[in-house]
Amino acid sequence: MNLFDLILLIGICLLAAMFWRFRAISEALKTQLDAYCERQQLQLISAARVKTRIGSYRGKLDFHSDFVFEFSGNGEDSCQGQVKMIGLKVQSIDTPAYRVE
């Protein structure tokens, strides 16, 4: 095994770890958005990642992710909200004014 093989192996392992972390973040978002929408009596339509970057928060290096999600307050209209996450924790959920039945 030469140096190129070792660097390639480390790169593949880092990409796999990043993929699993992104999946864990997306699953945590789905769980927390389902709970939020149930509390607010909203219907969750979809959620999508807008961007993810590496940053530090309180001395810990983790991924900072921004998501948009679509929801409905009355079952007919749809609105878009925004979610900011650091790691697996939701930092903020912003929703515009929406119609309720």
Q: What is the pLDDT of residue 74?
A: 85
Write down the domain spans for the chain: 3-94
DSSP, collapsed to helix, strand or coil, labels residue 8 as helix
Burial 53-77 (b: 16+ CB within 10 A, else e): eeeeeeeeebbbbebebebbbeeee
Over residues 15-38, the pLDDT tens digits come to 999 999 999 999 999 999 999 999
Question: Does residue 65 carry a pLDDT above 90?
Answer: yes
Condensed to tens digits (0 to 9), the pLDDT of residues 74-98 reads 888 889 999 999 999 999 999 988 7
Q: pTM of the predicted model, to two decimals?
A: 0.85
Amino acid (1-letter code) at residue 77? D
Mean per-residue pLDDT, 8-12: 96
Domain 3-94 in CATH 3.10.450? The answer is yes
Q: What is the pLDDT of residue 26?
A: 95
